[in-house]
Homo-oligomer: A and B are copies of this chain.
Amino acid sequence: MNNIQPSLEIDVAGIRMKNPVMTASGTFGYGSEYVDFIDLNKLGAVVVKGITSVPWAGNSMPRIFETPSGMLNAIGLQNVGVDGFIDKKLPYLRNFDVPVIVNICGEQVGEYLEVTEKLDAADGVAAIELNISCPNLHCGGMSFGVDPKLTDELVKGVRGKTTLPLLVKLSPNVTDITVIARAAEGAGADGLSVINTALGMAIDINTRRPQLANVTGGLSGPAIKPIALRMVWQVYNAVSIPIIGMGGIMNGEDAIEFCIAGAAAVAVGTANFINPRASLDVVEGITEYLERHGMRSIEKLVGSLEVP
């Protein structure tokens, strides 16, 4: 123990944050839903639900299912659309002194570009997170995030439309995540979000129907943490842009694991559903760890894994 007061402030991919803890897209709404529990100003960044060019209705029900230490979701990107977001959701977030990162999605490259242009012109967007990995969509039968060429094309396109920091969110459902990571880096991404949900499924044995109307869905929560950590470490060793680590982070200790594996920042997802204060608890947990280990900042921790 000693008296160094660690500073959690960091700059990740050009986004200046008070601490390295974000909320994961789709698990924190548009921020307003959590103000009874959290001072948004204390977060590193708020990442909002995936936005598309026009409002999407989403998938039919059931949409979620609990699995051992995890949950499956197939929401189908129900969202208000980029115009609705800018008109109805963004103004509220401008009341806070916290970077707002907008997660965007689409079925065609053109849709991504349209959303990007509108967000680039809007006031109060700190960065764009490109979701090329939503497991509940079928962009020509396969999502962008599993093909390095499609990734390159899409990221280059979006890069051309904005000067905002650009994060690219990678899918775990690939043979070699470093290939996609390098494609995104090469195409101009400023940072990588690792990982989105793993594709999974569950069945009701009495009705013999899938537990999700969409049949398959994205697995999140502690169950996928080992997979997420492995991928963060792989990507860390493959690229030189910063990584936002996520997948099953429930507390500060989980977050520290991601940092040691190579994450410059982390995002808290499913944990928000179980504990609405989870993201701030993670901030506090990280602070305590740094204090306990006499570290002034988190930077020395990033990628500090000692391999035997």
Residue of B whose beta carbon sits closest to that of A146: B175
User: This chain: how many copies in the complex?
Assistant: 2
* Contact A201 B233, CB 8 Å, known A69-B69, A306-B209: yes
Contact B210 A307 (CB under 8 A): yes
Contact between chains at B68 and A208 (CB < 8 Å): no
Q: Decide: A205 near B72, CB < 8 A? Known: A198-B227, A199-B227, A230-B199.
A: no
- Do B305 and A210 touch (CB < 8 A)? yes
Within 8 A of B (CB), among A191-233: 198-203, 205, 207-210, 213, 215-216, 219, 221-227, 229-230, 233
Across the two chains, which residue of chain B brings its CB closest to A257?
B203
A–B pairs, 9, beta carbons within 8 Å: A67-B222, A68-B223, A68-B248, A173-B175, A202-B225, A205-B289, A209-B306, A209-B308, A210-B307
Q: Does A134 contact B (CB under 8 A)?
A: no
Are A219 and B226 within 8 A (Cβ)? yes
Q: Does A70 contact B (CB under 8 A)?
A: yes
Q: At the interface, yes or no: A260 with Cβ under 8 Å from chain B?
A: yes
A85 to B211 alpha-carbon distance, docked (Å): 43
Whether, in the assembled complex, A57 has its beta carbon less than 8 Å from a beta carbon of chain B, the answer is no
On whether the beta carbons of A215 and B307 are closer than 8 Å, the reply is yes
Binding site for B on A (CB under 8 A): 60, 67-70, 72, 146, 173-176, 198-203, 205, 207-210, 213, 215-216, 219, 221-227, 229-230, 233, 248, 253, 256-257, 260-261, 289, 304-308
Known contacts A201-B230, A201-B233; is-contact A208 B146 (Cβ 8 Å): no
Residue of B nearest to A213 (CB): B308
Residues of B within 8 A of A173 (CB): 175
Cα–Cα, bound, A127→B270 (Å) = 43
Known contacts A175-B146, A205-B289, A289-B205; decide if A226 and B67 are in contact (CB<8 Å). yes
| Cα–Cα distance between A227 and B195 once the two chains are bound (Å) | 15
Which residues on B sit within 8 Å (CB–CB) of A257? 202-203, 205
Q: Are the CB atoms of A226 and B201 closer together than 8 Å?
A: yes
CB-CB < 8 A to A201: which residues of B?
Answer: 226, 229-230, 233, 261
| Chain B neighbourhood of A304, CB < 8 A | 208
Q: How far is the CA of A306 from the CA of B146 in the complex (A)?
A: 28
Q: Which residue of B lies closest to A293 (CB)?
A: B206
> Contact at A200–B227, with CB atoms within 8 Å?
yes
Separation of A226 and B201 alpha carbons in the complex (Å):
5
Most chain B beta-carbon neighbours within 10 Å: one of A175, A198, A221, A289: A175
